[in-house]
Amino acid sequence: MHPSEANALLPLALVVDDDATIRMIATQTLKQHGFRILEASDGEQALAIVERNQPDLILLDVIMPGINGYETCRRLRELDAGRHVPVLMLTGLDDLESINHAYEAGATDFAAKPINWAVLGHRVRYMLRAAEAFKGLVESQALLSSTQRIARLGSWSWEVVTERGQWSEEAFRILGYDPGSVPASVQNYLARVHPEESGQAREAIRELLSGKQMVEITHRITVPGGEERHVKLHGEVRCDDQGRPMHAYGTIQDVTESKQVEERIRHLAYFDGLTELPNRHFFIENVAKSLHHAKRHGRVLGVLSMDLDQFKRINDTLGHTIGDKLLQAVAGRLRDGIRAQDTLALTDGDAPLGLARLGGDEFCILLTEISQFHDAARVARRILESLAEPFKLDDNELFVTTSIGISLFPSDGDTPEALIKNADAAMYYAKSQGRNNYQFYGKTMNSRALEKLAMESQLRKAIERSEFELHFQPKLDLRSGRISGAEALIRWRHPELGMVPPIDFIPLAEESGLIVPIGEWVLRAACDQNKRWQARGLPPIHVAVNISSPHFRHSGLLPMVARTLHETGLRPDCVEVEVTESMLMDDMETTLATLHKLKDMGLRLAIDDFGTGYSSLSYLKRFPLDALKVDRSFVKDTPGAADDAAITSAIIAMAHSLKLEVVAEGVETEAQLDFLKARGCEYVQGYLISRPLAAEDFITLLTNEGERPVAKPLRASR
Ligand code: C2E
Ligand code: MG
Ligand code: MG
C-alpha cells in the first residue's frame, strides 16, 4: 500500500480551539495516537469542516469568540455528518453546571482544563472505539429493520413482570400503527385482531404466558381503513429457575400474499374456471363431509344430478362460445335459485357448497337440509321451472331443459361415489322418460339404467378403437339372377360381449347423438369397400346404407355425404340410402328437401321396412324414391297367411304404379321366392340367398356367382 493511501485510513480528528498553543499540543498528542488532524479556530469554521470532511472525532473548546462550544455542538448535532460523531468538550471549569451544559448540547464526554494530555490521548482512542461500536449497532439495526420490512416480518418482546413490551418498526407497520405511536401492549395487538379470531389469539397468548414453550397461530387482522391482512404470530417464552415465564418474544409476519396465492391455488384445484362453481373434486369432498355429519345426527341427504337436454346440439350448431355462455347462464340461474332455497344452508364465502359443475353440461346439487324426499322433489321442480324461461345470449334465444336424477342418503348409498353414481343413473332414466323431468333413484331401474350408462360410454370409444365392422347382405335381382347390390349392416365387436347386433346399440346411439359419427363411419366404410371391389374388377354393384332419423335430420348430413363421395371417389349411383317409412312422415317438408338434395347428388333412395308406418300413397308420390323394401314381417308368413300375402301383393302393385322397384326383405323359403317372383318383385334379400357376410366372404360370393344356378340358396356365413 502506498504511504499516502495507508495514511488515508487513519482516523480523522478535528481540533477546535481559538488558542493556537492548545491546538498545537492537541495536534501533537493526537498524531502520536495515530490520528490525522484538522484544525479550526472558531465554531463556524468547525461546522464548515465537519460538513466537508466528516471527521471521526472532535475536540471542542467551550469558550471561543463568535459562537461558543455549546452552541457549536448543538448545531453540529443537526448536521447529517455530525449527528453521531463523538465530541469531547474541553471545559474551562469543572463545575457541575458547565458539565450539564456540555451533555445537554450533545457532547459525548468532557475534559476539564488544564488538560492532562497524556491521559487525553487514551481517552480519545476509547471514545473512538465506542463510537465505532455504536455505529455498527446503528447499522445492524438499520439492516435488521430493512430486512424485516422486506420480509414483512416484525419482531416483538414482552417482559412478564413489568408488563412492558417492544415491537420492531415493522411489527407496528404490520399491525397498522405508525412506529412508536402506541405502547407495544397486548391490548393494542388484540385491538387489531379480526373479531372472529380474537378468541384464538387470546388463547395463544394465555398459553404462552402460562409457560407453553412455543405457540404459532395464523389469523386475520383489520387495520384502519378496513383492509384485512393475514398474519402469522410466532412466540416463545423464557422462564426463570422455578419455571416461571419471564420474557416472551417472537415474530409477527404479514402472510397476506402467500395466503392469496394459496387461495388461488385452492381455487384452481377446487373450482371450475368457466362457471366459478365448485368442481367434481370439491363436490365429492363436500358430500363426504355432509355424509359424516348426517350419519352422526341421523339426517337425510339428497344428491341431484342434472344434465342439460340436447346441449351437444346447441354446442355443435351455435359453437362453443355460445355453449360456454349458456353454461355460465345456467350456472347463474341455478346459483340464484339455490340461494333462495331453504334446503341449502352451507356456503363457503360466495360459493354455495351445494352446487357444482362436474364437467360438460353436468351439474350436481347437494341437499343438506332436507327431511324427506318431498323436499328434494320440490328443489328439482323449481330447477325445471327456473330453466323454463328462455336464455337470451347474443342474438339467440335458447330454450333449455334438463333431466334430473335424485339419490338419497341413507336409502340409495352411503358414500359420495355411490350417491353420485345412483343420481346419475336416475338422471339417465329421466332422459329415457322423455327428458325435462326428474326421477328418484330406484333399485329396479338400477341395473337397466347403469347398463345403458356403461354401454353409452363404451359406444363413445368404439369408433376410436375400431370396434365396428360392416357385414354385407347380397340383394338378388330376380330378373337377371345376379347379385346387383348389397346392404351394409353394422356390427359391433365388443371386447367383452362379443358381436353385438345393431338392435342392441343403434337406439342408444340415436338417443345419445353418437349415431352421427357412427353413421358417418358406416357410409365411409361402405363406399370404401365398394370402391375396393370395383378396383378388383368385380361387376359393379350398389351398396345400401341405413341412415337413422336423428342423423338424417342432422345439419351436417349433406356436406358429409358429399365429402365422403368425393374422398372415396365412388360414383354416387353406386350408393343407396335407406330411410324408414316413419322418417318420411314426420317433418315432411324438411325430409322432402333433404331427399331431393341427396337425389340431386345422384344417390339412389330407398324406403326401408315399408308397410309398418301406415304412410299414404299420395304422400309417397311426392318423394324422389327409387325403391321400396317390403318389411320382413309381411314376407314372413307369405304365401301361407292369406292377409299377409294380400298385403305383400298390394304393396308390390302399388310400388309399381309409382314406378318404384320393389325389394322383398327376409326371404327365407323357396315358396316365398316363388310367390314374389310371380308378383313381379324385382329384388329379394334374405337368408335364402345369403346371410349378411363379412367383406371377404362377400367377394367369394361375387366371384363365384357365375357357377351358381340362379336363385339357389347360397351357403350361410354365420
Ligand atoms: P334393416 O335395415 O331392415 O336390415 C335388415 C335386417 O334383417 C338385418 O338385421 C338383417 O340381418 C336381417 N335379415 C336379413 N335377411 C333376413 C332373413 O331372411 N330372416 C331374418 N330373420 N332376418 C333377416 P340386422 O343386421 O340385425 O339389422 C337390424 C336393423 O338394424 C336394420 O334393419 C337397420 O334398421 C339397423 N341397422 C343395421 N345396420 C345399420 C347401420 O349401419 N346404420 C343404421 N342406422 N342402422 C343400421
Ligand atoms: Mg335396411
Ligand atoms: Mg329393413
Question: Which CATH number fits the domain that encloses residue 187?
Answer: 3.30.450.20
For residues 552 and 701, membership in a common domain is answered with: yes
> With 0-12 CB in 10 A as exposed, 13-18 as middle and 19+ as buried, what is 74?
middle
> Which residue in 299, 311, 294 sits closest to 357, CA to CA?
311
Mean pLDDT by 10 residues, the chain (718 residues): 67 94 93 94 95 94 92 94 91 78 91 86 90 89 89 93 93 95 94 94 91 90 93 94 91 93 87 91 92 90 91 84 93 81 45 76 89 83 90 88 93 93 89 84 65 78 89 96 95 90 92 92 97 90 95 94 96 95 81 95 94 70 92 90 88 92 96 95 96 93 65 41
With respect to residue 199, please indicate whether it lies within any of the assigned structural domains: yes
271 Cβ neighbours under 8 A, 6+ residues apart: 277, 278, 279, 282, 351
Q: Is residue 6 part of a domain?
A: no
Claim to verify: residue 201 and residue 323 sit in the same structural domain: no
Write down the pLDDT at residue 178: 95
pTM: 0.48
3-state secondary structure 488-503: EEEEEEECCCEEECHH
- Alpha-carbon span 307 to 428, nearest angstrom: 9
Distance 666 CA to ligand 1 centre (A): 9
CATH number at residue 544: 3.20.20.450
Say whether both 477 and 597 belong to one domain: yes
Give the integer Cα–Cα distance in Å for 177 and 79.
29
CA–centroid distance, residue 432 to ligand 2 (Å): 25
Q: Is 34 in the pocket of ligand 1 (CB under 6 A)?
A: no
Element (H, E) at 164: strand 164-167
Q: Are residues 376 and 497 in the same domain?
A: no
Residue 284 inside a domain? The answer is no
Nearest atom of ligand 1 to the alpha carbon of 629: 3
Domain boundary pick from 146, 179, 199: 146
Residues 437, 470 within the same domain: no
- Indicate the residue type of 640: G
Tell me how far apart the alpha carbons of residues 565 and 190 are, in angstroms, rounded to a whole number.
80
Same domain for 387 and 477, yes or no, is no
Cell 460538513: give the residue.
Answer: 51
Q: How many domains does the chain have?
A: 4
Q: Both 480 and 585 in a single domain?
A: yes
Residues whose CB falls within 8 Å of the CB of residue 57, separated by 6 or more in sequence, listed in order: 11, 12, 13, 14, 35, 85, 86, 87, 88, 124, 127, 128, 131
User: Could you tell me if residue 276 is inside a domain?
Assistant: no
CATH number at residue 74: 3.40.50.2300
Whether residues 432 and 476 share a domain: the answer is no
Query: Is residue 103 in a domain?
Result: yes
Position 447 in a domain: no
How far is Cα 161 from Cα 174, in angstroms, rounded to an integer?
26
Give, as one character, the DSSP assignment of residue 141: H
Atom of ligand 1 nearest to the CA of 510: 44
385 within a domain of the structure (yes/no)? yes
Q: Is residue 717 part of a domain?
A: no
Whether residue 301 contacts residue 422, with contact meaning beta carbons closer than 8 Å, is answered with no
Q: Give the CATH number, domain containing residue 415.
A: 3.30.70.270
**Of 204, 231, 261, at which residue does a domain stop?**
261
Same domain, 140 and 37: yes
Last residue of a domain, one of 412, 441, 470: 441
pLDDT at 607: 93
Which residue among 476, 491, 546 is best mutated to probe the pocket of ligand 1, counting the most ligand atoms within 8 A of its Cβ? 546
Q: Do 621 and 496 belong together in one domain?
A: yes
* Residue 474 in contact with ligand 1 by CB distance below 6 A: no
If one residue of 475, 489, 506 were mutated to test the ligand 1 pocket, choosing by the most ligand atoms within 8 A of its CB, it would be 489
Q: What is the pLDDT of residue 30?
A: 93
Do 702 and 559 share a structural domain? yes
Residue 556 is classified by DSSP as T
C-alpha cell at 24: 498545537
The answer on 89 and 171 residing in a single domain is: no
Q: Decide if 623 contacts 588 (C-beta within 8 A).
A: no
* Nearest alpha-carbon partner for 359 in 445, 415, 266, 282: 282
Which domain range does residue 520 map to?
453-707
Protein residue whose Cα sits closest to atom 17 of ligand 1? 666
